Amino acid sequence: MNALKKHLTWAWGIAAALLFAVASPALAAPGTIVGSKHDFTSGAGTYKGTNNANGQVCIYCHAPHNNTNAAGSLLWNRAASTAVYTPYSSPTMNASPAPSATIGAISKVCLSCHDGTIAVDSYGTVTGTVKATGVALIGNDLSNDHPISFTYNTALATADGALKDPSTATVTIGTGGTNTGTIAAKMLFSGQMECASCHDVHNTTARTAVQDKLVVMTTAGSALCVSCHNK
């Protein structure tokens, strides 16, 4: 239910993006992906898809009809990556790292671009040519990236000793100061830490002139890190 709620929030983000595109396509602001790093139609980000689809911002990831996973809640319009991933692990990690086969579906939709195996402008039945490079290219070796697809709960926080209890510690998402709740409610997906726990793919929260990382809150002063890490 928690994951479905977040997916529905994403859907509203798409609607906001479409409305903003009609009103002011040249600007980027919180609440829209237009002009953000995930706007592949204008070249505002690093990548401008060769298959522009008449300037449709959403089509690179979503399709309202005949999408590639019609049974899915995201109306997803991209092929799933078949890459085998090497998950993060370390001697001090108290969580059980997810094996490659169980990387969460929510993170896998991010990796369908960011592991570099599928072109950004490949969607639906269209085959593109523009693949992620540079800092956007995470690849399939996730061993040097923040762990994902693990259960973050009270038991883990207790065992670790340096993590906040996600069931009681509160966070504020975005820049308005009103979207506040527990870590579990605001950042986790069915109790799991995923890519979207920290990154807001629809740019609905914290993007400002100096904050263009599509994150759920500012990284200034390590605010995003200390939202979970008790340092």
Instruction: Give the long-range contacts of residues 66-70, CB within 8 A, separation 24 or more.
Output: 66/124, 67/124, 68/124
Residue 176: which domain range?
2-226
Q: Is residue 231 part of a domain?
A: no
160 with 116: CB under 8 angstroms?
no
Q: Is residue 200 part of a domain?
A: yes
Q: Specify the pLDDT at position 218.
A: 84
Judging by beta carbons within 10 Å of its beta carbon (0-12, 13-18, 19+), is residue 22 exposed, middle or buried? Answer: exposed
Number of domain units in the chain? 1
Q: Is residue 220 part of a domain?
A: yes
Question: Which residues of the chain are under the pLDDT cut of 70?
Answer: 1-31, 42-46, 48-50, 52-53, 70-72, 205-212
Token pair for residue 146? 């923040």
Gap between the Cα atoms of 223 and 221, Å rounded: 5
Q: Specify the pLDDT at position 142.
A: 94
Q: Specify the pLDDT at position 202.
A: 86
Q: Is residue 136 part of a domain?
A: yes
Q: Is residue 119 part of a domain?
A: yes
